Structure 1
């Protein structure tokens, strides 16, 4: 949908089109669930109420056909990226988020654009391994579940870890997204990572 969420008071024609499409989708008996990530953590239920969406917590557990799933954005698994984890702790502080929500939209826009430029620059200087998930963090996340689903690293794949799975979703782009299809009616719990071109 967007590269960064600057506040529930933001509006644009392209966003209104998406909101209207999601309203129709929900009116047909579907539900839209949203889990925030590193660039849209300021999004809250106020925006999702426009189309009857549901905001999930940072870590969400669900059971499908007897299999335990853990869903999360994935940035918390990148524990080797110490500078990012430090930044995340500061920027997601509830007091700072509440303060930023009260600042003018123009200020938040400049702030987010600055963060994005710095993030892009930082990525150029970091190694692939530092920006990827930490193996121990993944194993810890899989302790009480069968399947871990996350994004953030944008390296889509289904990884077998002994008798468990880690599924990495790809980035949402203007013309493409990665979707995980789960067939709960299958005895083998079929999971397929699909590239959706739109």
Structure 2
């Protein structure tokens, strides 16, 4: 069994999500071969040197899971793209590049966070290119923690305001971009998060059947995609 989750947005202000995640690790992930976390695991991340006791505890929970035999893979999201090697060492997980092709149950599956597919949101794409530029990342890491925290808070506030004002199709993936990426990586299944719109979309890529599986976010309920001998299944579950 393989499990995939995304968009938990873990933070101290949502203890219900934290409790549900820790139960998820004990009840389900401990029986899995692998756990893939496809971005926005944390609500905000200002650098491994700024880890809070809460974030250190989460790393410890992941480390305990890895020591029980479950392989853990983590991908950056748009909220936690500054997670680095120090956290991964403490959490016992492997950091994946976005996109990443994984062999899941003998199928090549493309894994992404999903924000890079939202190409119609030109303002966000400009900001993303700037934030992910190695020079920008270097500069950000040199800023004092307090300054990074201020910048992160401002970016979160601006993002929430702009998202509410944008049309729903603007903040969703661009269909042509999805096909282009799947064609580039020669896959028939794409799994991503980011949009908070859990669903399975059947589609055609170069005349062949394909599918795009969107992972759900953890807010009013939790979501996990399970891949096993019977196929791929995603079901919500109560946080409390």
Q: Can you list the C-alpha shifts for 1:49-98, whole angstroms capped at 9, x where unaligned?
A: 11221000011001223322000111111111111101111111111111
Aligned with 2:182 (options 142, 165, 169): 142
1:179 matches 2:207: no
Distance 1:150 1:17 in 2: 26
Distance 1:109 1:6 in 2: 6
Shift of 1:119: 0.6
1:8 matches 2:48: yes
1:158 matches 2:200: yes
Aligned with 1:127 (options 161, 167, 170): 167
Unaligned residue ranges in structure 2 (runs of 5+): 1-9, 11-41
Match of 1:167 in 2: 213
Match of 2:236 in 1: 195
Shift of 1:12: 2.4
Tell whether the 8 Å contact from 2:45 to 2:83 is kept in structure 1 after alignment: yes
State the SS of the aligned residue for 1:160.
Answer: strand
Shift of 1:176: 4.0
State the SS of the aligned residue for 1:129.
Answer: coil
Tell whether the 8 Å contact from 2:59 to 2:87 is kept in structure 1 after alignment: no
Shift of 1:102: 1.6
Tell whether the 8 Å contact from 1:141 to 1:148 is kept in structure 2 after alignment: no
Match of 1:33 in 2: 73
Q: Can you list the C-alpha shifts for 1:97-129, whole angstroms capped at 9, x where unaligned?
A: 111112111110000000011111111221001
State the SS of the aligned residue for 2:71.
Answer: coil
Aligned residue pairs, count? 193
Unaligned residue ranges in structure 1 (runs of 5+): none
Tell whether the 8 Å contact from 2:76 to 2:113 is kept in structure 1 after alignment: yes
Distance 2:130 2:53 in 1: 32
Alignment of 1:101-112 (within 5 A): 101-112=141-152
State the SS of the aligned residue for 1:32.
Answer: strand
Tell whether the 8 Å contact from 2:112 to 2:191 is kept in structure 1 after alignment: yes
| Runs of 4+ off more than 6 Å | none
Q: TM-score, normalised by structure 1?
A: 0.92
Q: Which has the higher contact order (CA 8 A, sep 6+)?
A: 2
